[in-house]
Amino acid sequence: MIYIWSNAKRKLIHETMGQYIHADGVGYDVVPLDYNLTQVETGDTVLVLGSKGLERLEVAGMVPKKRSIKSLRGKRIQAEDDSPQLPGHL
């Protein structure tokens, strides 16, 4: 499962990203940034979008503070041992 963690409108995410994710037959869900991702399991992927998403990763200690979106783009961030990888901030 792919979780798209973003404050963007769900419809916008479906229109811009959904077609590409579904093309691979992978299920996805859009989750607002104010929700905690407690349903994420090993093997799942989380795409974190926007500056608010980056702030959530900083608060969780997953990325160093004061990093730019550009510096993290395309990087994989491992949450913990045996937990899902969080691809770099888009």
Report the 10 Å Cβ neighbour count for 2: 17
pLDDT band at 84 (very low <50, low <70, confident <90, very high): very low
Residue extents of the structural domains in the chain: 2-87
Q: What is the CATH number of domain 2-87?
A: 3.40.50
CB atoms within 10 A of CB 45: 17
* pLDDT tens per residue across span 35-79: 887 778 888 888 888 899 899 888 888 888 988 989 988 888 877
Q: How far apart are CA 17 and CA 32, in angstroms?
A: 16
**Reported pTM:** 0.76
Measured distance CA(4)–CA(50) in Å, rounded: 11
DSSP code at position 60: T
- Cβ 33 vs Cβ 7: under 8 Å: yes
